[in-house]
Amino acid sequence: MRRSILKDLLILLGVFALIWLLASLFNYPDKPKLLSIEKEERLGEAYVDLILLNPMFRELENEKIDSAVSMIGDRLEANLEHSDYLYNFVVFDSKMINAFTVPGGNILISSGLIAFCDSPEELASVMAHEMGHVEERHVVSRLIKELGIDILTSGDQYVLGEVTGLLTSTSFDRKQEEEADRFAAELLERSSIEPRTLATFFRKLEEESDNELMKHFEIISTHPNFSSRIREALSYEPADDFKALPMDLDWEGIQAGL
């Protein structure tokens, strides 16, 4: 009797293992294994070039701003547990408060967002959130879902235009936003940046949610759930021995150059 229960259990276990294996093979487009990181990087480069050709996203050429953004990016990147990506942060010249990710670890940040952030830590919290979308491959998932992998990688001019439109108006689903928020809080903590900066920054966004300048900002585009995201971000507790290490940047001086 006991032996047969054991056999049944083993069979059940086997069935679960098979289901798990199948689910992990077919969980596309949530985890887009069909597109290698190398391919994603090549696509990303092409899209960044294309986006920067658009007068709405002209690259801001300002050494002081670029070096501040790289300094923040370096601190965050150095504290990633593991990454397949080499990050590229590009600042574009726009009054809009905006930041978005392009495949291949490319994150585009508007000069308007830099002006809106009261501290480099606030900007770091947005950058960490966008890095969450990169690491979780949310952008690629969405593109594959909308266009299909064959079309996405076809290199067709029309498709490139279509993708550019999608990338610059990306909105993620609630689960993806929560994943990116969680990722950001953990990364900020590891980077010695107060992780609840994310919450205070979100609160500021919420207060200004009628501001026309932020209507394309993906962080706020899932507005109906925003209050719960703020609560969630506020409830994040760093470890007892956490100590914030201030960014050595003259933020006002940097902003004055915008």
What is the smallest separation between the CB atom of 173 and Zn ion, expressed in angstroms? 10
Regarding 214 and contact with Zn ion (CB under 5 A), the answer is no
The stretch near Zn ion (CB under 5 A) out of 82-90, 114-122, 207-215, 218-226 is 218-226
What is the smallest separation between the CB atom of 252 and Zn ion, expressed in angstroms? 28
The stretch near Zn ion (CB under 5 A) out of 39-47, 141-149, 176-184, 190-198 is 176-184
Is 59:91 a contact under the CB 8 Å cutoff?
yes
What is the smallest separation between the CB atom of 250 and Zn ion, expressed in angstroms? 29
Tell me the torsion sign for CA atoms 25, 32, 138, 123.
positive
Regarding 180 and contact with Zn ion (CB under 5 A), the answer is yes
What is the smallest separation between the CB atom of 220 and Zn ion, expressed in angstroms? 9
Residues near Zn ion (CB under 5 A), total: 3
The stretch near Zn ion (CB under 5 A) out of 17-25, 45-53, 193-201, 212-220 is 212-220
Nearer to Zn ion, 133 or 196 (CB): 133
Provide the token pair at 211: 């501001």
The stretch near Zn ion (CB under 5 A) out of 14-22, 35-43, 215-223, 241-249 is 215-223
Nearer to Zn ion, 136 or 218 (CB): 218
Distance CA 120, CA 254 (A): 10
Nearer to Zn ion, 40 or 218 (CB): 218
Nearer to Zn ion, 131 or 180 (CB): 180
Task: Establish how many alpha carbons lie within 13 A of residue 70's alpha carbon, considering only the half-sphere containing its beta carbon.
Answer: 8
Distance CA 75, CA 78 (A): 5
Q: Within 10 A of 1 (CB to CB), how many other CB atoms are there?
A: 5
What is the smallest separation between the CB atom of 184 and Zn ion, expressed in angstroms? 9
Regarding 113 and contact with Zn ion (CB under 5 A), the answer is no
Task: Establish how many alpha carbons lie within 13 A of residue 188's alpha carbon, considering only the half-sphere containing its beta carbon.
Answer: 31
What is the smallest separation between the CB atom of 125 and Zn ion, expressed in angstroms? 12
Nearest to 127 by CA among 118, 138, 114: 114
Contacts 24+ apart (CB under 8 A), 108-115: 108/48, 108/51, 108/57, 109/69, 111/60, 111/62, 111/65, 111/258, 112/213, 113/217, 114/65, 114/69, 114/254, 114/255, 114/258, 115/255, 115/258
Residues that bind Zn ion (CB under 5 A): 177, 180, 218
